[in-house]
Amino acid sequence: MTDRVILAYSGGLDTSVAIEWMKQETGAEVVAVSIDVGQGGEDLETIRRRALDCGAVESVVVDARDEFAEEYCLPAIKANGLYMKQYPLVSALSRPLIVKHMAAAAKEHGGTHVAHGCTGKGNDQVRFEVGFANTAPDLKIIAPARDYAWTRDKAIAFAEKNDLPIEQSKSSPFSIDQNLFGRAIETGYLEDLWNAPTKDVYAYTEDPTLNFSSPDEVIVTFEDGVPVAIDGQRMSMLQIIEEMNRRAGAQGVGRLDMVEDRLVGIKSREIYEAPGAIALITAHQGLEDVTVERELARYKRSVEGRWAELVYDGLWFSPLKRALDVFVEETQRNVSGDVRMVMHGGACWVNGRRSTSSLYDFNLATYDEGDTFDQTLARGFVELHGLSSKIAAKRDFGL
């Protein structure tokens, strides 16, 4: 029986070349699997046909935009998932979804191997391969770019030698990955940390230094932590992210220039633009501030960081990640209401909140007439709260 390789196919140079290369090197048949996670660009039928023209025996395309929005982006919003307190996990969120569909394709099409185009320096090799180990451990893995030292120049030369029907030049200086939740840009002149990004780096966001005519004020409605409406108009999760990408991006919101700690142990300069993700997480945090009890909120903030690290590190399917998902979901039971937010000049900030589940008590908070807070209790509270540190200070400093 001939081996069959299920290839994560993007339609670009590397994965197009990989089809013919794997046929020649392994004798296996290649099934190309393309997943639409809102990356834009070419339509699915064009990508499907290109895979067949490059030698795939079958080409599968899946429109997974709604699934990505509801089952991957939404949990990240509920968890306020920001790796290193900045990065909204754009690429990391899409990898377990791709793994899921590739494993399903392997069952359907008799796959014995899976293949990806990741290098040995990046995080995605881990996300894919650990994902397969957790969902389809019997599948063998081929990674041409990593294991056979493929370079862009080698890929172009191989394509020309074998008359592969692709159009690709050596001119693009960047490596780009994008989906519904954002866009990641790296390599090229960006590898020099002193070089500032030029305007051609960006596609999802306007230049925040431009003199915008007016701010954009938006009201986001949540039900149990789920964004359900924009300015009173109910939408699907996919539509809400798309709308916030458009409106926040038009105000320059969501640009990040960071040096992040990769899982493999190196630091890497990454440029991100994630307007919808940053805006929605900001709004969600604003509503949590008034609906989540103090001790629960404090503990959730520590969980959020760990949740983001697990997703970034490719452990989406891990027991700890699953357990933290249950915790996060429990915290969202009362995160319902409206958040009013202003977006302008590259920034977004909350300027209004209302919720029937609010824990904010005006009569306790006010300093004016109607104050119901009994301030006579505060003296004893302060004394007891600081008692243990007071005793220690007497011992340690001879007070």
| Phi, psi angles (nearest 5°) of residue 193 | -65, -15
The number of beta carbons lying within 10 Å of the beta carbon of residue 2 is 10
163 tagged catalytic: no
Q: What's the helix, strand, coil split of the chain in %, to 5? A: 45, 20, 35
Ligand-binding annotation for 123, yes or no, is yes
257 tagged catalytic: no
Using DSSP's 3-state secondary structure scheme, residue 162 falls into: coil
Ligand-binding annotation for 204, yes or no, is no
Ligand-binding annotation for 14, yes or no, is yes
Ligand-binding annotation for 16, yes or no, is yes
Strand partners, 259: 269
Strand partners, 342: 217, 349
Ligand-binding annotation for 9, yes or no, is yes
Ligand-binding annotation for 148, yes or no, is no
Ligand-binding annotation for 175, yes or no, is yes
Ligand-binding annotation for 15, yes or no, is yes
The residue from 175, 318, 355, 358 that is catalytic is 175
Ligand-binding annotation for 360, yes or no, is no
Type of residue at 239:
Q
Ligand-binding annotation for 363, yes or no, is no
The residue from 34, 50, 124, 313 that is catalytic is 124
Strand partners, 36: 63
Ligand-binding annotation for 10, yes or no, is yes
CA dihedral 161, 166, 172, 173 (to 10 degrees): -60
> Which residues 6+ apart lie within 8 Å of 43 measured at CB?
none
The residue from 95, 183, 255, 353 that is catalytic is 95
Helix (H) or strand (E) holding 319: helix 319-331
* Cα–Cα distance, 73 to 265 (Å, whole number): 26
The distance in angstroms from the start CA to the end CA of the chain is 83
Ligand-binding annotation for 192, yes or no, is no
* Cα–Cα distance, 384 to 370 (Å, whole number): 28
Ligand-binding annotation for 127, yes or no, is yes
Type of residue at 234:
R
Ligand-binding annotation for 87, yes or no, is yes
14 tagged catalytic: yes
Using DSSP's 3-state secondary structure scheme, residue 101 falls into: helix
* Cα–Cα distance, 333 to 49 (Å, whole number): 46
Which residue matches tokens 């300093």? Answer: 367
The residue from 14, 50, 183, 313 that is catalytic is 14
Phi-psi region for residue 207, left (φ > 0), alpha (ψ -120 to 50) or beta? beta
Ligand-binding annotation for 13, yes or no, is yes
Ligand-binding annotation for 117, yes or no, is yes
Ligand-binding annotation for 8, yes or no, is yes
Residues labelled as active-site residues: 14, 95, 124, 175
Binding residue ranges for ATP: 8-16, 117
Binding residue ranges for L-citrulline: 87, 123, 127, 175, 260, 272
Binding residue ranges: 8-16, 87, 117, 119, 123-124, 127, 175, 260, 272
Binding residue ranges for L-aspartate: 119, 123-124
